[in-house]
Amino acid sequence: MIIEQLYTNCLAQAAYYIESNGEVAIIDPLRDYQIYIDKATANGAKIKYIFETHFHADFVSGHIDLAKKTGATIIYGPTTETNFPVHVAKDNEEFKLGNIHIIVLHTPGHTLESSSFLLKDENGKDHCVFTGDTLFVGDVGRPDLLDGFMSKEELAAKMFHSLNTKIMPLADDVIVYPAHGPGSACGKNIGKETFSTIGIQKATNYALQPMTEAEFISAITSGIAPAPSYFFKDAKLNKQGYASFESIIENGLLALPLAKFEEYYVEGATIIDTRVADDFELGFIPKSFNFGLNGQYAIWAATLLDIHAPIIIISTPETEKESVERLTRVGFDNIKGFLNGGFETWKNADKKWDMIIGITAEELVLDSLHNPDVVIIDVRKPTEFATGHLANAKNIQLSEILTASNELEKHQEILVHCAGGYRSMVGAAALKTLGFTNVKNVWGGWNQIKEEPNVQIIMDKVPV
């Protein structure tokens, strides 16, 4: 028996490869599905099943394309309705895979079709459970994604019963394999590990402690940040179907000559510049967004932009394919191509370009002391902000930077920081696209700022 967690850090997402006696099951595959086929082929095995724990909202699954390529059966839990062929499993239905068995545990709460998959080993012993977005390490799935159809309180009540009747009764040594890890917006505060055990979660997970249903509902529905708008678009794609991965890659990997790139630019296409912040700040095409490949690139691109809008890409040589593939994972389906030669092509043609000044933490402190009109924007989450922030900082979390910017004046000097520097450049570039001209990015972010002498730090009550 082989069980392999295939974890994608930039999405905080876990897919799973399971193999027994020449038969393979994939759980929650990514859209770029070839890795699963390659693994099975290398082992002389055949993909038999594709298990989906639920309709994912934070990424586009590879289930449809993978099934077409392999002939594997897509399996969802009870109540599922789709626009493509699937096997809708019954609660406790059992599937044989080589010498092992996988049992469907219907665990509604995150969504109505949400299911966990219990794996019994060759000896019939409960070995592990793939919990999807029902149970994470240190957290549970958010219950607010069916707004307008079912309230978060109603879904939380279902989650309470799912956990207490399907998950908690499992033995303490059963391994828990969730669909997400730290950084995912599918939970409030997911722990840093990507797997655990039932026993450890019973002891440490706040949502599995003894409490009434009412107390549970209150605990998991409070303090939930609004879901990114692309969540609802991705869930729809996963339910109704989508363009093939190959077709989007083929279009997205077009090397655009300068004239064609500029044509799209003039027509209003969105520029995504995937270079690291240190390179981006030294020169970029006006109105460009910066989502560096060295961070949660696709998540932030989808959070701030319309995934169906036309996209043109600036990247460094040899990263074009990665730039496109990672965007397809979250549902970008209208990528026109990338500028052949990257930013240097634009610059060498004497086209207009822009810059963002980078400053140190020391310079931020001095600037704020000597210039009372400077505006410091902290783009960290409110929970991060509450644990420590500058006395004169304004908290606009990155997910809201485009909409909350109307609170700012475009002539003001604006200093942007986050925890370490990635999100602040995303935010600074976003402000520049809106016409803010005097925006500076703080290198090293809060990690450096808090170490400065005589800096005034405020700590608030941390939101639940």
Beta bridge partners, 28, equal: none
Count CA within 13 A, CB hemisphere, residue 165: 15
The residue range of the domain holding 317 is: 243-348
Q: Which of 13-22, 48-57, 196-205, 365-374 has the lowest mean pLDDT?
A: 365-374
Domain count, the chain: 3
Dihedral-angle region of residue 20 (phi above 0 means left; psi in -120 to 50 means alpha; beta otherwise): beta
DSSP 105-142: EE--SSSSS-EEEEEE-TTS-EEEEEEETTEETTEE--
* Same-domain status, 218 and 76: yes
Q: Is 225 within 8 Å of 464 (Cβ atoms)?
A: no
Phi, psi torsion values for 97, nearest 5 degrees = -130, 105
Q: Is 199 within 8 Å of 170 (Cβ atoms)?
A: no
Q: Is 47 within 8 Å of 36 (Cβ atoms)?
A: yes
* Same-domain status, 220 and 260: no
* Same-domain status, 89 and 219: yes
Band (pLDDT 50/70/90 cuts) for residue 463 is very low
The whole-angstrom separation of Cα 270 and Cα 310 is 6
Whichever domain contains 262, its CATH number is 3.40.250.10
Whichever domain contains 44, its CATH number is 3.60.15.10
Which structure tokens are listed for 215? Answer: 């107390």
* Cβ-proximal residues to 62 (8 Å cutoff; 6+ apart), any chain: 29, 30, 31, 32, 33, 36, 245
What percentage of the chain's residues is helix, strand, coil (to nearest 5)? Answer: 35, 25, 45
* Same-domain status, 155 and 301: no
* Same-domain status, 340 and 208: no
* Same-domain status, 59 and 152: yes
Among 348, 382, 411, where does a domain finish? 348
pLDDT above 90 as % of the chain? 89
Band (pLDDT 50/70/90 cuts) for residue 461 is low
Mean pLDDT for the stretch of residues 398-417:
92
pLDDT exceeds cutoff 70 at 462: no
Question: Tens of pLDDT along 141-150?
Answer: 999 998 778 9
Phi, psi torsion values for 331, nearest 5 degrees = 105, 5
Band (pLDDT 50/70/90 cuts) for residue 111 is very high
In a domain, 463, yes or no: no
Mean pLDDT for the stretch of residues 284-297:
96
Among 297, 323, 348, where does a domain finish? 348
Q: Is 354 within 8 Å of 285 (Cβ atoms)?
A: yes
Q: Are strands 115-120 and 13-20 parallel, antiparallel or unpaired?
A: unpaired
* Same-domain status, 282 and 365: no
In a domain, 464, yes or no: no
Mean pLDDT for the stretch of residues 105-128:
97
pLDDT exceeds cutoff 90 at 276: yes
* Same-domain status, 215 and 255: no
Q: Is 288 within 8 Å of 314 (Cβ atoms)?
A: yes
Q: Cα angle at 426 between 235 and 13, to 5 degrees?
A: 35
Among 348, 379, 414, where does a domain finish? 348
In a domain, 238, yes or no: no
* Same-domain status, 221 and 326: no
* Same-domain status, 199 and 72: yes
Q: How many CB atoms lie under 10 A from the CB of residue 422?
A: 21
* Cβ-proximal residues to 164 (8 Å cutoff; 6+ apart), any chain: none
* Same-domain status, 278 and 361: no
* Same-domain status, 316 and 378: no
In a domain, 428, yes or no: yes
In a domain, 237, yes or no: no
Dihedral-angle region of residue 307 (phi above 0 means left; psi in -120 to 50 means alpha; beta otherwise): alpha
Band (pLDDT 50/70/90 cuts) for residue 464 is very low
